[in-house]
Chains A and B, each alone.
Chain A
Amino acid sequence: MFNRAFLSAMLIAALTVAAAGCIDSRSQAHAVYVLVDTSGTYANEAGKAKIIIHYLLGTLQPGDSLAMARVKSRSFSEKDIVAKVTFDTRPTQANAQKRAFRDQSDAFLGTVKGSAYTDITGGLMQGAEFLNETGAGKKTILIFSDMQEELDKVTVRNFPISLKNIRVVAVNVTKLNTDNIDPRRYLGRLEAWQKRVQAAGASEWKVINDLERLDAIFAKS
């Protein structure tokens, strides 16, 4: 009697585990794409991006993905991705990869050259492409920028983009001189981006200006 009950329990447990095993492991992974604005107005702030990268390296888990790309005159290109990595599932390997990524990003951020224009939309599109390719369950784009998009006459970005199921977080959105004169410009700029991002299907839009509160990047609003 006891044996039969024990075997039944084991069978149920095995079936449960087998059924649970069907869950895609990547769906639990987190992929983060960091866009660093290197335009003339914002290039001086690039050093602060190091804090965010370091925070992300300390927070992301084995199996997660991280990429850093620059925003310049035209940013819809793989060449603008400075560093990218999908961390190994083994913690020791993941730590080694994090160290390598840190060195790579630090080297880039130490030698940022300002660009003439700022193609944030192109960077967002490139980021969405990268994040969708990772197959991660949670996807986040961090934009380290003043959110002032400036395009040359040839570049076309005034069309709807897709950021479906992607969280977009704007970090360290500095105020321009003109914003100080008329703060409505700053607020209007943020509002416009929020509308555009949400229209693109983003799951969340968030602005974090205090770099001491980076834990809010992954906190649900």
Chain B
Amino acid sequence: MADMNSWMAGPDNSAMSVLVVLLVAMILLYAARVPMHGLIRTAGNALAGPMRLGARWLAAVAEAMKQRNKAVLLAQGRRETSQRIEREFERIGILVTRDLQGYPTLQRKLLEEITRIEEDFQKCGEVPPPPPDWVEAVAAVAQIKTGGGEVVQKILTDVRGSIERIHDKAIAEYRRAYQTRHGILEGFMPYWRSLDKTMKQVDTKMARLQESATAVDGQMEKYKKIVAKSDEAETTLTNSSFTQFTISIIVLWIALGGAFINFKLIALPMSEMVGAGDYLTASLRTSEVAALIIILLEASMGLFLLESLRITHLFPRIANLNDLTRRRMIWISLVMLVTLAGIESALALMRDMLIADKQALLQSLATAPAAAAGDGWITRIPTAGQMILGFILPFALAFVAIPLESFIHSARTVCGVLAVDFVYALGFVLRVLSGLVRLASRALLHFYDLVVVLPLMAAQLARSLRSRGPTVKARASDATDKSARTL
């Protein structure tokens, strides 16, 4: 308290003391105003300048990353599109080889059928020979007057009979001729049908060819855009990558679920093989790791199989192998996959046996009598189900290579885009911070002036008075001079 009093301007007059201290501080702060302003300005610039520079640098980095991403994306898109075009051309080649190779045969068949139809048509055009000239003779005989003579009557009756016979014969011939022609015409039908079928086949093949050509056109259009490095192509490829990324993640999650079920199936029986009491870490059993390794081996074999089949392209070395080695690799990975699937199936059966054994032990240890378990075929269903699942799951897991490849390829684009956005955002934040620092330094300057407002005002007043003093004196001397001149 004594110390406090030593600071007081008057005894027990704290308000006065504070006022005095404030005034002294104000005067001191005013004295240090110019260097303090300089210090605040320098500090503000020292903070804001690098931030601004950093923001610019980040923007440049983001731009460079964007360009690099674009280049990678376009290269990837170009590769994929060219592969698709190649595949379309292969398909067209197969179509042409398969369908158009048989075209000469088809043409010959068509020509033969057309010739046959023409011949038959010509045969249809053949009419039976016209009736003989005796018609006129008959007309002349008909004009003969009978006159009631028996001889004439008989002759005429004979003539009539002959004519009727000849007429009947002619009609029968006509009918036979027309029947033959109808038969020929009827024989046209299979040829027409065959022609129709052949033409339809040609039509289908041509349509298929046209479809492939349209697909090639579409891919070529896309390829052109990619080669031209257009923004549209970049946007399309980026969107496609995002879609691929999402889909592959979903599929990988599903595959992970399958792997988990697989793990559950074989973890317990693996303890019979490698022991259940061995631990790798505090909570990780060796048997569990062994089960995990088997699952990973299955996935790897599946990956090698799909690589060897050239379905995926994660390992260029496998894709570049010669056909013989590649085929050997296909067989080796397939055999290993089947073996592993068989092992897993056996392990699934063993799991069921182990659980049953444990259950039997627990029942024998229980104080209450256990309910008799059914031994029918229904109780065998889960065992069979587990075995089938144990055999199928490795093959299902093998296909995980496809979404994995898709994930890896699309992740490059997605991560690239996100990284660019992040760098842009970081640059923006730095820019905003730089602006805020500048504003803060200005605000601090004003605040400093506000603190020393009294000495500042006094100084301004003194300055204005000083500047006004010589002016008044000058005005007074001017007036004296004027009056002297007037006098």
Q: Which residues of A contact B (CB under 8 A)?
A: 2-3, 17, 20-21, 23, 25, 27-29, 51, 54-55, 57-58, 61-64, 87, 89-92, 94-95, 98-99, 102
Contacts and interface: CB of A to CB of B under 8 A. Distances in A.
B203 to A, nearest CB: 48
Contacts of A64: 277
A87 B364 CA distance: 18
Contacts of B268: 91
Contacts of B279: 23, 25, 27-28
Given A17-B280, A17-B289, A90-B276, A57 B358 contact: no
Nearest to A29: B277
Nearest to B272: A90
A36 to B, nearest CB: 17
A89 B271 contact: yes
Interface of B: 268, 271-272, 275-282, 284, 286, 289, 314-315, 354, 357-358, 361-362, 364-367, 408
A89 B290 CA distance: 15
Q: By CB atoms of chain B within 10 A, which of A17, A27, A54, A90 has the most?
A: A90
The 9 closest A-B pairs by CB, nearest first: A63-B277, A89-B275, A62-B276, A89-B277, A54-B365, A28-B279, A25-B278, A20-B280, A20-B281
7 contacts: A2-B314, A23-B281, A28-B282, A58-B362, A89-B277, A92-B357, A102-B365
A95 B281 CA distance: 25
Contacts of A87: 277
A25 B367 contact: no
B284 A61 contact: no
B277 A62 contact: yes
A64 B279 CA distance: 13
Contacts of A62: 271, 275-277
Contacts of A29: 277
A145 B268 CA distance: 37
Nearest to B365: A54
A29 B285 CA distance: 12
A195 to B, nearest CB: 32
Q: By CB atoms of chain A within 10 A, which of B314, B364, B408 has the most?
A: B364
Nearest to B284: A20
Nearest to A51: B367
Given A23-B281, A25-B286, A63-B277, 13 more contacts: A25-B277, A25-B278, A51-B367, A54-B366, A62-B275, A62-B277, A63-B275, A63-B276, A89-B276, A90-B272, A91-B272, A91-B357, A92-B354
Contacts of A55: 365
A98 B278 contact: no
A216 to B, nearest CB: 18
B375 to A, nearest CB: 20
A102 B364 contact: yes
A45 to B, nearest CB: 16
B271 A91 contact: yes
B208 to A, nearest CB: 38
A2 B365 contact: no
Contact of B357 (A21, A23, A51, A95): A95
A23 B408 contact: no
Nearest to B355: A91
Nearest to B357: A95
A57 B365 contact: yes
Contacts of A94: 276
Given A2-B314, A20-B284, A99 B277 contact: no
Nearest to B268: A91
Contact of A23 (B271, B280, B354, B364): B280
Contacts of B357: 91-92, 95
B281 to A, nearest CB: 5
Contacts of A58: 361-362, 365
Nearest to B286: A25
Q: By CB atoms of chain A within 10 A, which of B281, B282, B365 has the most?
A: B365
A84 B380 CA distance: 37
A83 B315 CA distance: 59
Contacts of B314: 2
A20 B275 CA distance: 17
A9 to B, nearest CB: 12
Nearest to B287: A89
Contacts of B281: 20, 23
Given A21-B280, A54-B367, A99 B361 contact: yes
Contact of B361 (A61, A89, A98): A98
B92 to A, nearest CB: 33
B322 to A, nearest CB: 20
A87 B280 CA distance: 19
Nearest to B360: A95
Q: By CB atoms of chain A within 10 A, which of B279, B357, B367 has the most?
A: B279
A220 to B, nearest CB: 15
A87 B289 CA distance: 21
B409 to A, nearest CB: 10
B276 A61 contact: yes
A91 B276 contact: yes
A124 B289 CA distance: 38
A117 B268 CA distance: 47
Contacts of B286: 25
Nearest to A27: B279
B450 to A, nearest CB: 60
Nearest to B408: A2
